Amino acid sequence: MEIERTRMVVPYYNNPGMLELQKRNWDRYEGELRHSLRIIVVDDCSTQPAEPILRDCKADVRVYRLEERWPWNMHQCRNIGAKEACKDKENMWLFFTDVDVMLTPEAAITMLDRSLQAGTHYTVERTFAPDFTDRKIHPNTFLCKYSVFWQVNGYDLDLTPVGGGGYGGDNQFMRQLRAITQHQHLEDVVTIGYGRRSRDGAAALPDADTTDLDRAEWHEKYKLALAKKKNTGDFRSINPIRTKYMRVL
């Protein structure tokens, strides 16, 4: 087995139960997988910090923490994670996902133990706990090269609260990524989502989702910010790091 050197970027905001479940999963990363896959968790100034939960994680984990809190700042977390992923400037692979989406060691090996093409970005399958019945592609779970991510210049923070926008921007980033890369969907790589509620209304894991912010209200602010972008005709991401942060683990 020869696994591609990869950095997994995971934003985190007050999901301690979900992060503990992720830690137990990451503890199962062994051998070549543990050596080749580093996990970068970016804590969005949580009141329930990530660092104590991951302090004794057996996997190769680093934790960065934002020093100021903005609503829906997960795109800033992703940009920071991508920046810190390759401090040695090596053009390795970046795997982005959310804290409520689990990449098991079996799925990680299936994804990375193959011939990956630098000019292609890859999406994967997502099934849902607790019933594991249907599947759906997750817009923020994908694999691409470090250089490709920064060719887009990361997620556009003008569309987020820190730049005067709101909740959204995932699809806008993916449109730009698709414009410069090929796309391949890996049907044999199946992640597990814990954030969506099952049909009977019970949560797969109570704190997997962010529930203390109104998505609808903030999405309207995002649409206004996107309309301004459309009026200018300039969709470039500018100044992708706007929040101070520090490494805490």
Residue-wise pLDDT tens digits, 93-111: 999 999 999 999 999 999 9
To which residue do tokens 């329930």 refer?
48
CATH level 3 topology of 6-234 = Spore Coat Polysaccharide Biosynthesis Protein SpsA; Chain A (3.90.550)
Give dist(CA 22, CA 123) in Å, integer.
Answer: 20
pLDDT score, position 43: 98
pLDDT score, position 135: 87
pLDDT score, position 132: 86
DSSP line for 189-224: EEEEE-SS--TTS--SSTTSS--SS-HHHHHHHHHH
Residue ranges of the chain with per-residue pLDDT less than 70: 1, 88-89, 196-203, 211
pLDDT score, position 197: 56
Prediction pTM value: 0.94
pLDDT score, position 1: 57
pLDDT score, position 234: 82
Residue-wise pLDDT tens digits, 208-245: 877 677 788 899 999 999 999 889 888 889 999 999 99
Say which residues have a Cβ less than 8 Å from residue 193's Cβ, sequence separation at least 6.
100, 101, 102, 126, 127, 128, 129, 136, 138, 204
